[in-house]
Amino acid sequence: MTRTFFLHIEENSPLIKLHPLLKISFLITVNVLPWIIDMPLLLVIMLMCLLALYKIMRIPLKRLCKFIVLSIVIIQAIMFSYIFGSKIPGRIVYVSFPWGTYVSDKTLLYAITVTLRFLNMLIGSTMILAVLRDIDIIYGFLYLKIPYSIAFTISLALRSATIFIDDYFRIRDAMVLRGVNFDKGNIVTRARNYSRLAMPLMVLGVRRMIELGYILEVKGLGDVKKRTFLYEFPLRPIDVALLMFMVCLVVVTVVLKYFLQVIRFPGWPFS
Amino acid sequence: MDVKKIAITGITAGLCLPLALFAIILVPIPGLPAASGFWIPAGFYFVMTLWFGLWGALGGHIATTIAMGYFFGYTLHIWMNGGIGDLIAPLVCLIIFKVTKARPDLRSRKDIAVWVVAVVISSLVCGLWVHTIHLFFGIITWPSWYIGVLTYLIGDTMAVLAVGTPLLKSLTDYVKQSPMYIWK
């Protein structure tokens, strides 16, 4: 297995052979759809479909384990935010707060809806990240007619993020070996300890930046007006069909929500 | 696009991206998804912007946008708003440095004073931007606006001063050797 962006690539998955444009389009679709949809039942169905896709595409669900802590942090924040800071109209108001917000019978349902949105985005994005290679980012963006320099910058950002994550843990472990405890103390102590990681990280960052600047110059990246590419990814009819399907899915969702008002919150069976 | 600018933007984004994720996990703010009480990457992209100009700020913007939106997609306006706020803040700091003719190596008292004031002003501008947009979108209420701006100001200022000050003081001389350094 090859490591790329935050994960190791699942080389056995049929998704790996997917056209780069389709991978990027799927990533966009899987993040746009939950943002449009606010009907809990539909979001649950979408979540089930995504989990089924993991099985079909032979991507192990354990890939999601490393995001459990992140998910808990985000879900508690969503719940806290909607319970104490929202004004979602409902039939009954249970509690009113002095700062002008209240908890109605629809508040918890809406908070769960937002949580489902987030989970759909996370699970869908992780699935694509599990098969996304550096060249997919660049070629995918190029097919979307995004300039090469921007595609390369985004790819470089994601690639170097992975390297810096390794650096971060290496430096952190070295500091732990020297007796620093990152889990102890109040927020200020913890923040101070973490800020001490900054110096070695920044030295590595600046050194890489200078070296990379020279490397890119030597490779003549800025001088070439019309680039040629090593790989070719011709769009097959099945790729075009899948692309059309994703576009149609987004268009149909927009029409159903904003024009026909069928899939609006709270929707069946809560309406 | 100049290759050096690509290197600055890409590496700054790569450096700040994991730090943004760690900041969200390690010092979360209850009630504000994808926010942190100690925004560690701010210390880095403020410093990168002072050294390398707009491209450092752009790197910070890409990092926070990806970190907050890609993995922690909440709603589009919160995501974009935070990302744009993080682009504005270091640029405000850079403008203050340019206007006052202060230097990022913080050698003189004037430089240090400008740095502290610039960080406070930048964080305040960014906090006002982010929370006023939230208010217009109806995401927060008026009482939360005051709390939000205040926590943003304190959280960002603390992080930038705690992380950025030692970086500027000790690494500016090293960075001066780089052809990307904007203060000649």
Q: What is the pLDDT of residues B47-64, one digit of tens each?
A: 999 999 999 999 988 888
Radius of gyration, CA atoms only, chain A: 23
Domain check: are A31 and A130 in the same one?
yes
Domain check: are A181 and A59 in the same one?
no
Q: Of B15, B28, B158, which is closest to A201 when you measure between CB atoms?
A: B15
SS3 label, residue A124: helix
B167–A199: do the CB atoms touch at under 8 Å? yes
Domain check: are A31 and A52 in the same one?
yes
> Does the residue A267 lie in any domain?
no
ipTM score assigned to the predicted complex: 0.86
Q: B79 to chain A: which residues are within 8 Å by CB? A: none
> Does the residue A189 lie in any domain?
yes
> Does the residue A187 lie in any domain?
yes
Domain check: are A69 and A174 in the same one?
no
pLDDT band at B72; cut points 50, 70, 90: very low
Whole-prediction pTM: 0.82
Domain check: are A130 and A246 in the same one?
yes
Domain check: are A251 and A175 in the same one?
no
Range of the domain at A185: 147-218
Q: B151 to chain A: which residues are within 8 Å by CB? A: none
Which of B5, B6, B182 best probes binding to A when mutated, by most A CB atoms within 10 angstroms? B6
Q: Which of A151-165, A191-205, A230-244 is predicted with the least confidence, judged by mean pLDDT?
A: A191-205
Task: List all residues of chain B from 9 to 38 with a beta carbon under 8 Å from chain A.
Answer: 9-15, 17-19, 21-22, 24-35, 37-38
Task: Give all domains of chain B, ordered by start, each with its CATH number.
Answer: 3-175 (1.10.1760)
Domain check: are A20 and A111 in the same one?
yes
Which of B22, B38, B71, B139 best probes binding to A when mutated, by most A CB atoms within 10 angstroms? B71
Amino acid at residue number A15:
L
> Does the residue A228 lie in any domain?
no
- Rounded Cα distance, B14 and A86, in Å: 35
Domain check: are A65 and A97 in the same one?
yes
Residue pair A270/A40 in contact (Cβ under 8 Å)? The answer is yes
Instruction: Report the interhelical angle of A40-56 vs A20-36 (nearest 10°).
Output: 160
Where are the alpha helices (H) located in B66-161, listed in sequence order? 76-100, 109-136, 142-159
> Does the residue A127 lie in any domain?
yes
> Does the residue A209 lie in any domain?
yes
Tokens of A162: 């992975």
Residue A165 distance to chain B (closest CA, Å): 6
Domain check: are A112 and A166 in the same one?
no
> Does the residue A76 lie in any domain?
yes
Share of chain A above pLDDT 70, in %: 97
N-terminal to C-terminal alpha carbon distance within chain A: 47
Residue A200 distance to chain B (closest CA, Å): 10
Overall domain count for chain A = 2
Q: What is the pLDDT of residues A93-124, one digit of tens each?
A: 999 988 788 899 899 998 899 889 888 988 89
> Does the residue A45 lie in any domain?
yes
Domain check: are A170 and A248 in the same one?
no
